[in-house]
Structure 1
Amino acid sequence: MEGGIATKSGFFLFLLLLLQNLLVMASKFLPSRLPLPLNSPRFHRLPSTNKTMIPIASFSSSSPSASSVDNSVRKQEEEEEEELQEKVAQALTFHHQTKHGFANYARGPRGLDWANQPNPFRRYISAPLLPLLHFPTNKPIVAVTDDAPFYSSLFHSLPPPKPISHSTISQLFFDSLAVSAWKTTGFSTWSLRVNPSSGNLHPTEAYLIAPPIQSISDSPFVAHYAPKEHSLELRATIPSGFFPDFFPDNSFLIGISSIFWREAWKYGERAFRYCNHDVGHAIGAIAMAAATLGWDVKLLDGFGYKDLEKLMGLQFFPDFKIPSRPIKGKFPEIEFEHPDCLILVFPNGSNPFDVNYKELSSVVNEFTNLEWKGRPNSLSKEHICWDIIYRTAEAVKKPLTIQKGEFLVDQFKSSGICSENSYKGFTIREVVRKRRSAVDMDGVTVMDRQTFYQILLHCLPSGKGEKHRRQSTLPFRALSWDAEVHAAIFVHRVIGLPKGWYFLVRNEDHLEELKMATRSEFKWEKPEGCPDDLPLYKLASSDCRELAKRLSCHQDIASDGCFSLGMVAHFEPTLVEKGAWMYPRLFWETGVLGQVLYLEAHAVGISATGIGCFFDDPVHELLGFRGSKFQSLYHFTVGGPVLDKRIMSLPAYPGPSIDA
Structure 2
Amino acid sequence: MPPLPSTRLSFPLNSPLFYILPSTSLFPNLIITTTNKKNKFLIPTMSFSSSPSSPSPSSISNPKEPEHPRDPEDQELLLQQVLKYHNQTKHHFTKYARGPHGLDWANQPNPFRRYVSAPLLPLLHFPTENQNPNSSSTQDPLYSSLFLNLPPPKPISKSTISQFFYDSLALSAWKTTGFSTWSLRVNPSSGNLHPTEAYIISPPIESLSDSSFVAHYAPKEHALELRAEVPSWVFTNFLPKDSFLIGLSSIFWREAWKYGERAFRYCNHDVGHAIAAVSMAAAGLGWDVKLLDGLGYEDLEKLMGLERFPKFQIPSRPVKGRFPEMEFEHPDCILVVFPNGAGEFDVNYKQLSLAISEFSKLEWKGKPNLLSKEHICWDIIYRTAEAVKKEISLGNTFLVDPFQSSGICSEGSYKGFTAREVVRKRRSAVDMDGVTAMDRNTFYQILLHCLPSGSRNGGKQKKPLALPFRGLPWDAEVHAALFVHRVEGLPQGLYFLVRNEDHLDKLKKSMRSGFKWMKPEGCPENLPLYELDRTDCRTLAERLSCHQEIASHGCFSLGMVACFDRLLHDKNMWMYPRLFWETGVLGQVLYLEAHAVGISATGIGCYFDDPVHELLGLKGSNFQSLYHFTVGGPVVDKRIMSLPAYPGPDVDA
Give the deviation of 1:658 after TM superposition: 1.8
1:246 is paired with a residue of what secondary structure? coil
**Alpha-carbon offset, residue 366 of structure 1:** 1.8
Equivalent position to 1:178, from 170, 176, 181: 170
Cα distance in structure 2, aligned partners of 1:654 and 1:433? 15
- Which whole-Å CA distance do the structure 2 matches of 1:376 and 1:446 have between them? 48
Q: CA deviation at 1:351?
A: 1.5
The match for 1:499 is 492
Q: Does 1:476 align with 2:469?
A: yes
Distance (Å, rounded) in 1 between the aligned partners of 2:135 and 2:151: 10
**d(CA) in 1 for partners of 2:358, 2:367:** 20
Q: 1:517 aligns with which of 483, 504, 510?
A: 510
Question: Which of 291, 304, 317 is 2:283 aligned to?
Answer: 291
Q: Which residue of 1 aligns with 2:478?
A: 485
Verify the 8 A CA contact 1:141 1:427 in the aligned structure 2. Answer: no
Query: 1:208-287 alignment to 2 at 5 Å?
Result: 208-287=200-279
Contact kept? 1:91, 1:395, Cα under 8 Å: yes
Whole-angstrom distance in 1 between the partners of 2:136 and 2:492: 41
SS in 1 for 2:253: helix
Question: Which residue matches 2:430?
Answer: 439
Partner of 1:95: 86
Matches within 5 A, 1:123-202: 123-138=114-129, 145-147=136-138, 148-202=140-194
Q: Residue 114 of structure 1 aligns with which residue?
A: 105
Instruction: Tell me the equivalent position of 1:595.
Output: 588
Alpha carbons 1:462, 1:473 under 8 Å: kept: yes
Counterpart in the other structure of 2:356: 364
For 1:623, give the aligned amino acid. L
CA distance in 2, matches of 1:367, 1:564: 45
The aligned residue for residue 36 of structure 2 is none
| Aligned residues of 1:468 and 1:506 also touching (Cα < 8 A) | yes
Secondary structure of the corresponding residue to residue 265 of structure 1: helix
Give the counterpart letter for 1:184 in structure 2: T
Structure 2 residue 443 is the aligned partner of structure 1 residue 413: no
> How many Å apart are 1:360 and its aligned residue?
1.3
Aligned counterparts of 1:497 and 1:140: Cα–Cα separation in 2: 40
Which residue number corresponds to residue 555 of structure 2?
Answer: 562
Matched, 1:334 2:326: yes
Candidates 609, 624, 645, aligned match of 1:631: 624
Matched, 1:462 2:441: no
Q: Secondary structure at the match of 2:236?
A: helix
- The answer (yes or no) to whether the contact 2:546–2:608 under 8 Å persists in 1 is yes
Residue 401 of structure 1 aligns with an amino acid whose one-letter code is: S
Q: Compute the displacement of 1:352 (Å).
A: 1.1
- How far is 1:463 from its partner? 2.3
* Conservation of the 8 A alpha-carbon contact between 1:446 and 1:493: yes
Judge conservation of contact 2:294–2:396 (CA < 8 Å) in 1.
Answer: no
Provide the TM-score with structure 1 as the length reference: 0.87
Q: In structure 2, what is the Cα distance between the partners aligned to 1:389 and 1:143?
A: 52
Relative to structure 1, is the Cα distance of residues 404 and 602 closer, same or farther in structure 2, using a 3 angstrom cutoff? closer
Q: Which has the higher helix share?
A: 1
Counterparts in 2 of 1:382 and 1:454: CA distance versus 1, 3 Å? same
1:524-577 deviation line (CA, Å, top 9, x unaligned) = 000000000000000000000000000000000000000000000001111110
* Structure 1 ranges of 4+ moved more than 2 A: 138-147
| Cα distance in 2, alignment partners of residues 352 and 625 from structure 1 | 41
Q: Does 1:645 align with 2:638?
A: yes
Contact 1:121 1:659 in 2 (8 A): no
Quick check: which has more Rg, 1 or 2?
Answer: 1
Is 1:300 equivalent to 2:303 in the alignment?
no
Partners of 2:347 and 2:169 in 1: CA distance: 27
* Alignment match of 2:380 (pick from 388, 413, 419): 388
Query: How far, CA to CA, are the matches of 1:566 and 1:441 in structure 2?
Result: 17
* 1:378 lines up with 2:370 in the alignment: yes
Kept after mapping to 1: 8 A contact 2:494/2:531: yes
1:286-326 alpha-carbon deviations (Å, 9 max, x no partner): 00000000000000000000000000000111110001110
Separation in 1 of the partners of 2:632 and 2:260?
29
Contact 1:522-1:539 at 8 Å conserved across structures = yes
Give, as a single letter, the amino acid of the residue that structure 2 aligns with 1:87: L
- Residues 547/144 of structure 1: CA separation in 2 closer, same or farther (3 Å cut): farther
Q: Secondary structure of 2:306's partner?
A: coil
- Flag structure 2 segments of 5+ consecutive residues without an equivalent: 1-66
Shift, 1:142, TM fit: 5.5
Corresponding residue for 2:598? 605
Q: How does 1:511-590 map to 2 (within 5 A)?
A: 511-590=504-583
d(CA) in 2 for partners of 1:244, 1:533: 41
Q: Would the alpha carbon gap of residues 618 and 205 (structure 1) be closer, same or farther in structure 2, given more than 3 Å must change?
A: same
After superposition, the Cα gap between the structure-2 partners of 1:141 and 1:613, relative to the gap in structure 1 and judged at 3 Å, is farther
CA distance in 1, matches of 2:74, 2:170: 40
- Distance in 1, matches of 2:134 and 2:384, equals 49
Structure 1 counterpart of 2:16 = none
- Count of residues in correspondence between the two structures: 584
CA distance in 1, matches of 2:132, 2:266: 35
Residue type at the aligned position of 2:617 = G
In the TM superposition, residue 499 of structure 1 has moved relative to its aligned partner by: 0.2
| Higher deviation after alignment, 628-637 or 348-357 | 348-357
C-alpha distance in 2 between matches for 1:350 and 1:404: 20
Unaligned runs of 5+ in 1: 1-48, 51-76
CA contact (8 A) 2:448 2:454 kept: no
